[in-house]
Structure 1
Amino acid sequence: MHHQPENSMDLLPADALKKRSLGLSVSDSPDLERLGLLDNHFRMTLGELARTVIIAGGSLYYGGHLHPEGITTFLIEELHRYGRRDRPLKVCLAWTVHQAMTPEQIKEQKDYLGLFGEIHFLSFDGERISMPTEPTHPNQFTAEEKSRALSGLRSYMTKNTDARILIGGKRKEFEGNMPGIVEEAIFSIEQRQPLYLAGGFGGATLDIVRTLRPDHAEWFPIVNDPDDIDEREKLGLERLQKAVSDTSWNGYENGLNEEENQLLSASYRPSEVAALVGLGLGRLLTANNL
């Protein structure tokens, strides 16, 4: 029997996701304008995802900065609406990020997160540390150091989450060896983790869809502009294909059927994206307790 995504919340009663965590891989998409979408669509989708997971008792892992106008602040505001006070949001900070913060800034952010979230400070290699040391040379990291710290962050998030959703993603002007969302997908594949590829916002996520399920990306034609192609992304997508081949796992074992995954690959509707993720997580729990 085919389930409609709108009914997915029935599969996630309160506490259904207790002790379960969803990793958020979210980054600006270069395709928003071309798709006629606004940044607000992006944030509304995150809000709906947060609602779906938080109401069901789960946790969210997000690796990012703590800028006042950033995604972390937005997620905290969403959590205030749903009343969970057991720190369901885990904000993971790469070494190069927290080393650029003063002790005062860190205290301020901890106070702001309060009962709604906690900060996980990471070492260069992605090990959790209790508190960052006093910054020695903030903002003076080499490109190689930044890349290593970001890889450590992504590895930590993969080890500590049960599934991951990908949305958007830069194709160029990214830090690291490849677009972050591509590397996060690779880590998830290597750990045989379910993936939810929300391709409706374009970006590197849709490039991943096109690599793994070309027919799911036919709705958005490729623009053959050489300036939009970064060789590092090409190499990253090749590495993704190799990881799929090596593990015999492509992330689509996520509780959704082919038709539903295809819908997730094209949808830009916040409620629909969140409902599909909830539907998949609910089925995974029912089938094998995730």
Structure 2
Amino acid sequence: MAAEKQRADLLPADALHGKQLGLSVSDSPDLDRLGLLDTHFRMTLGELARTVIIAGGALYYGGHLQPGGITNFLIEELYRYGRRDRPLKVCLAWTVHRGMTPEQIAKQKDLLGLFGEIHFLSPEGDRLDGPVDEPVIDDPPAEERARSLSGLRTYMTTNTSARIVIGGKRAGFQGVMPGIFEEVLFALERRQPLYLAGGFGGAALDVIRNLRPDYAEWFPSAHDAPAPDERLLKGLERIEEAVTAARWDGFENGLSEDENRLLAASYRPSEIAALVGKGMGRLLPPLEGKE
């Protein structure tokens, strides 16, 4: 019976066809305290990419195109799995692609090849036909940078089916709140399923602690932690307000309570990827004519 149940829980081929997973991932300040390395973080991204791509889904990531970054890591993972229908969508905020030369953009397009495509966005988050043919802007004003990042997050939320949240800064962030918080906020406002992976700590675990405190009891706050940034506290308040207004906390994601609790504490790459894939697969409507 146990073997039959395990087989029933496996993600069928093409189970995520037509589904898009938004990646909200950023370095966590808690890795040292948890005894984890950046390697564990990247292994998790690799497992997520494998799970989604093999099951027919697409990945949306908003970041930069610097060598050695997450975008290049994801491209390397896609090379391993061979899907050539551009399943990776790299979304670039206005201030990010405006800081790149045409040569840099062309090089990244060549690197992506048939494995992905770049979505160039306006300051408001509308998709442009391509990069703007104007002089490079090296150091845009902070307000413009924050506005373009909000536009990026709006675009990604509109164009994805669900969002995975891992890590995230508590300090040194740009904008009115940590980026992870704003991404969660936009998802909640649109009643989008969330997969909150708290095992790497960071802003993702702060969100979990705020929404489901008992899910985060495994990792008490550090006694010697510095006073939190006021913008962080206001961001958490905004998230609480969004949950109340939408009557939705994102945990209606295809996973059971026990599975969400496991995801909230897991740092195991294969476990996180399996839970996300399982949840997204369960959310799919049955095929017409099928039970």
The question of a shared fold, defined as TM-score above 0.5 by the shorter chain, is answered with: yes
1:71 aligns with 2:70: yes
1:134-173 map, 5 Å: 134-136=133-135, 138-173=137-172
1:97 aligns with 2:86: no
> In structure 2, the residue corresponding to 1:23 is in which secondary structure?
strand
1:279 matched to which residue of 2? 278
2:216 matched to which residue of 1? 217
Cα 1:80/1:25, change in 2 over 3 Å: same
Q: Could you tell me how far apart the structure 1 residues matched to 2:219 and 2:134 are?
A: 45
Alignment deviations for residues 102-152 of structure 1 (CA, whole Å, 9 cap, x no partner): 001111100110000000000000000011213445122111111100000
1:1-290 map, 5 Å: 10=10, 12-136=11-135, 138-225=137-224, 227=226, 229-286=228-285
Asked if the contact 1:123–1:129 (Cα under 8 Å) also holds between the matched residues in 2, the reply is yes
Asked if the contact 1:5–1:272 (Cα under 8 Å) also holds between the matched residues in 2, the reply is no
Tell me the percent identity.
Answer: 68
Task: State the shift of 1:229 in Å.
Answer: 1.1
> In structure 2, the residue corresponding to 1:129 is in which secondary structure?
coil
TM-score normalised per structure 2: 0.94
Q: Which amino acid aligns with 2:175?
A: G
Q: Could you tell me how far apart the structure 2 residues matched to 1:206 and 1:133 are?
A: 38
> In structure 1, the residue corresponding to 2:61 is in which secondary structure?
strand
Task: State the shift of 1:6 in Å.
Answer: 6.8
Asked if the contact 2:100–2:136 (Cα under 8 Å) also holds between the matched residues in 1, the reply is no
Q: Which amino acid aligns with 1:263?
A: L
Q: Which runs of 5+ in 2 are unaligned?
A: none
Task: State the shift of 1:69 in Å.
Answer: 0.4
Alignment deviations for residues 43-70 of structure 1 (CA, whole Å, 9 cap, x no partner): 0000000011000110000000111100
Alignment deviations for residues 231-268 of structure 1 (CA, whole Å, 9 cap, x no partner): 11110010000000000010000011111101000000
Number of positions where the alignment pairs a residue of Structure 1 with one of Structure 2: 288
Cα 1:89/1:3, change in 2 over 3 Å: farther
Alignment deviations for residues 154-205 of structure 1 (CA, whole Å, 9 cap, x no partner): 0000000000000000000011111100000000000100000000000000
Task: State the shift of 1:287 in Å.
Answer: 6.6
Task: State the shift of 1:278 in Å.
Answer: 1.0
> In structure 2, the residue corresponding to 1:119 is in which secondary structure?
strand
> In structure 2, the residue corresponding to 1:237 is in which secondary structure?
helix
Task: State the shift of 1:37 in Å.
Answer: 0.1
Q: Could you tell me how far apart the structure 1 residues matched to 2:2 and 2:212 are?
A: 21
> In structure 2, the residue corresponding to 1:128 is in which secondary structure?
coil
Asked if the contact 1:6–1:272 (Cα under 8 Å) also holds between the matched residues in 2, the reply is no
Task: State the shift of 1:14 in Å.
Answer: 2.1
Task: State the shift of 1:4 in Å.
Answer: 11
Cα 1:51/1:245, change in 2 over 3 Å: same
Q: Which amino acid aligns with 1:247?
A: A
Between 46-55 and 127-136, report the one with greater CA deviation: 127-136
Q: Could you tell me how far apart the structure 2 residues matched to 1:222 and 1:245 are?
A: 25
Cα 1:229/1:7, change in 2 over 3 Å: farther
Q: Which amino acid aligns with 1:210?
A: R
Q: Could you tell me how far apart the structure 2 residues matched to 1:193 and 1:126 are?
A: 18
Asked if the contact 1:8–1:275 (Cα under 8 Å) also holds between the matched residues in 2, the reply is no
Task: State the shift of 1:227 in Å.
Answer: 2.4
Q: Could you tell me how far apart the structure 2 residues matched to 1:21 and 1:7 are?
A: 24
> In structure 1, the residue corresponding to 2:119 is in which secondary structure?
strand
> In structure 2, the residue corresponding to 1:219 is in which secondary structure?
coil
Q: Which runs of 5+ in 1 are unaligned?
A: none
Q: Which amino acid aligns with 1:149?
A: S
> In structure 2, the residue corresponding to 1:200 is in which secondary structure?
coil
Asked if the contact 1:8–1:276 (Cα under 8 Å) also holds between the matched residues in 2, the reply is no
Q: Could you tell me how far apart the structure 2 residues matched to 1:30 and 1:196 are?
A: 20
Asked if the contact 1:64–1:93 (Cα under 8 Å) also holds between the matched residues in 2, the reply is yes
TM-score normalised per structure 1: 0.95
